[in-house]
A and B are shown apart, each in its own frame.
Chain A
Amino acid sequence: MKRILFTLMLMLALPVLADELPDYQIEGAGTGSQGTYLVRVTVLSKKSKVTDDEIGRCAVHGVLFRGFANKELRQQQKPLAGSALVEGQHKEFFEQFFEKDYVNYYQVVNGSRQVVKAGKQYKVTSNVTVAKDQLRKDLHEAGVVKSMNYMF
């Protein structure tokens, strides 16, 4: 009985863990080197200790499903996956992707971290490089996003 209860609780908890992303904002931070995006990610958290991993995860998520802009730098990029709907369409794939695979696609820029207290929460900001060409290529190979070449 205990086992069944444990399994049920685990099944209910797993998707929640995989989906759980902190509240974050993403904007452009300049032109990255070829094949990458340089973005600035701000994580809103009740604690000041936000890990680089959480910021990187938000950066990859933002690049994939939100896109980013920066009025001052005159930057605007659409979501790499096409739209936020793709996340729901390939739920199983992205749940697994955001458990471990995402770590291969980001690098937090050293020395770019800023922590600002705003009311009851902290705004933790870092610049992150996202390997968008490799990310796009791997999503094409996984069949999640169609390549430009798929019909020819």
Chain B
Amino acid sequence: MKKTLFAIIAMAVLPLTMMGQVKKPTLMVVPADTWCSANGYMTEFEEQGKTTRVADYEAAITENMDLYNVITKIGELMSEQGFPLKDMSQTVKNLKQSAAEDEMTTSRTGGSTLAETPLDRLLNRAKADIMIEVAWKVNKIGPKSSITYTLRALDAYSGEQIAAGQGTGAPSFSAELPVLLEEAVVEKMDGFLSQLQDHFNDLLENGRKVNIDVRIFDNGSGLSFEEEYNGEELTDIIDNWMAENTVNHRYNLSDATDMMLHFENVRIPLYRANGRPMDTRQFVGDLRKFLSAAPYSITSKVLTKGLGRANLILGEK
């Protein structure tokens, strides 16, 4: 009797203790492209005969003390909220260091180097789940100076702006630029954090918003999304699975061809049935298992890109 009672209590309490373990998004502050362009921190490279300009974050952070101060102050305020930032300069340094170390790593017996696919190399870049862009401009009217300051958080996967703080501070005769900047950061932070909080509340209520691509390996198997199983096309089968497994059936099938399905704003639950946290890989993994079972028996491969984007490629592993 006691054992049964203990088991019942344990079953009731266990999922509760597991709750609150949702995977925390990583945040990184970067200077906005407009700021980099205005301050000469852009690099150019040729790509198929066309010149492309990209922000040179490394040069900006090492050469511009004001940017360094602003990023440090934002980091301090975010840490107070329990969200330490991923440091941009350190991330860039670590990537370089780790690439150099990987090249020198060999096995003792056979002298084999580390296995790395072209995709691994492509994914090895500075990234975060939420990118916080910062920019400012100094305005001068006669002897008075003021700062127009912009801070915005972008979901790296959906590209949506999820929080922002923007405005021009009161003009000052005497305050120096670093002081005006610090005031602007402190002044705009609470509103920004409140919007970020709204975004997190929305996640809790409506699930995490992710993007999922379902594609097919070009291996000559002849598989396509128009393939029929019990009179129903594969596109509709996957579409129905999405409807059944998303929070409040919320998702968009924005592109659908016979070789590709692109699902946007897919609201995945924060927790799995066993109370453990859900992420995009596990959600797409469930779809993979569903398709691998009869009557479909389709082998597929899951590729994830951070917390919010995953590809399911059908046809082979």
Contacts and interface: CB of A to CB of B under 8 A. Distances in A.
Interface stretch (B46-54, B107-115, B189-197): B189-197
Interface in A135-152: 146-152
Contact of B193 (A72, A146, A148, A150): A148
Given A147-B82, A151-B204, A74 B169 contact: yes
A90 interface: no
Contacts of A73: 170
Contact of A31 (B20, B183, B270): B183
Contacts of A31: 183, 186-187
A76 B190 CA distance: 10
B24 A152 contact: yes
Given A147-B81, A148-B200, A152-B22, A78 B186 contact: no
Contacts of B196: 148
Contacts of A148: 81-83, 193, 196-197, 200
A90 B191 CA distance: 23
A74 B83 CA distance: 28
7 contacts: A76-B167, A133-B80, A148-B200, A151-B204, A152-B22, A152-B23, A152-B82
Interface residues of B, number: 27
Interface of A: 30-31, 34, 72-78, 80, 82, 132-133, 146-152
A82 B168 CA distance: 24
Nearest to B187: A31
B150 to A, nearest CB: 14
Contacts of A146: 197, 201
A77 B190 contact: yes
Which 6 A/B pairs are nearest by Cβ-Cβ distance? Answer: A149-B82, A152-B24, A31-B183, A148-B81, A73-B170, A148-B197
Nearest to A152: B24
Interface string B46-88: 0000000000000000000000000000000000111100000
B191 A78 contact: yes
A77 B193 CA distance: 11
A149 B191 contact: no
Contacts of B23: 152
Given A146-B201, A152-B82, 9 more contacts: A146-B197, A147-B81, A148-B81, A148-B196, A148-B197, A148-B200, A151-B203, A151-B270, A152-B24
Interface string B157-189: 000000000011110000000000001001100
B33 to A, nearest CB: 26
Given A148-B197, A148-B200, A151-B204, A75 B187 contact: yes
A42 B167 CA distance: 26
Interface in B190-227: 190-191, 193-194, 196-197, 200-201, 203-204
Interface string B255-294: 0000000000000001000000000000000000000000
A139 B165 CA distance: 24
Interface in B221-272: 270
